[in-house]
């Protein structure tokens, strides 16, 4: 139901002339498809260790997720186009810890013209977070891909959808939800370790997007 609500919102935004871009992840699908072919999942600091066979499974799983999202948007009478690794829109480079992580990458560049071409066809780009570098696939954190895409497009907003209410001053206390932060405030909370675990890369992705010209960023509960 939450997913349907999100996609309906995107179709509405597109219909009124706003240009949303949907960047998706697919962790559970990736883990399930790896298990199906007998490959174990190992993480280092929240990042999936990705050797050659694994990155091919990751790409296939994310293409499946991408196809499903495009199909669901079209079922809601919206227009969507999948943007996957073979389209070479997300350009990758090896992660600084590639020796440990394998084919995990960071974003080196984004082909803006390809995304803008989707807008001219009145469609929503649905972007898989697999990048490519000299023909090699790289698994990239979806928040980082979303941040880079927003920065390259000089987006008005970057919205990261998650499964918690947002940034909390007190963990597990939703009444301590912080409604708004400056970059400076966010950095202080990171230093004081008030922002923890999975929220750290999301906040850093927001800071990077703002630093590169995005007007405002949001981290919100996808179920709301």
- Per-residue pLDDT tens over the stretch 84-124: 999 999 999 999 999 999 999 999 999 999 999 999 999 99
77: pLDDT strictly greater than 80 = yes
Q: Encoding tokens for residue 199?
A: 């929220």
**pLDDT tens track for 169-213:** 887 788 888 999 999 999 999 998 888 877 888 999 999 999 999
Partnered with residue 107 across adjacent β-strands are 92
- Predicted confidence at residue 208, as pLDDT, reads 96
What is the spatial distance between Cα 109 and Cα 150, in angstroms, rounded to a whole number?
Answer: 12
Q: What is the mean pLDDT of residues 5-15?
A: 96
Higher pLDDT, 193 or 74: 74
- Predicted confidence at residue 191, as pLDDT, reads 92
Are 171 and 109 in contact, with CB atoms under 8 Å apart?
no
- Predicted confidence at residue 174, as pLDDT, reads 81
Higher pLDDT, 161 or 40: 161
């Amino acid at each position: 139901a939450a997913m349907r609500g999100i996609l309906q919102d995107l179709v509405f935004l597109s219909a009124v002339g706003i240009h949303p871009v949907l960047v998706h992840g697919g962790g559970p699908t990736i883990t399930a498809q790896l298990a199906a072919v007998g490959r174990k999942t190992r993480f280092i600091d929240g990042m999936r260790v990705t050797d050659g066979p694994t990155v091919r499974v990751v790409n296939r799983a994310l293409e499946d997720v991408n196809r499903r999202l495009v199909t669901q948007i079209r079922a809601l009478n919206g227009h969507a186009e999948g943007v996957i690794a073979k389209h070479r829109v997300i350009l990758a480079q090896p992660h600084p810890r590639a020796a440990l992580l394998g084919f995990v990458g960071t974003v080196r560049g984004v082909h803006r013209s390809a995304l803008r071409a989707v807008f001219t066809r009145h469609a929503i780009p649905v972007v898989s977070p697999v990048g490519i570098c000299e023909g090699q696939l790289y698994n990239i954190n979806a928040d980082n891909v979303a941040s880079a895409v927003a920065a390259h497009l000089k987006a008005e907003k970057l919205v990261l959808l998650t499964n918690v209410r947002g940034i909390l001053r007190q963990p597990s206390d939703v009444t301590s939800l912080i409604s708004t932060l400056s970059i400076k405030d966010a950095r202080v909370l990171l230093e004081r370790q008030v922002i923890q675990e999975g929220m750290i890369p999301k906040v850093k992705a927001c800071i990077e997007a703002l630093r590169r010209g995005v007007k405002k960023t949001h981290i919100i509960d996808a179920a709301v």
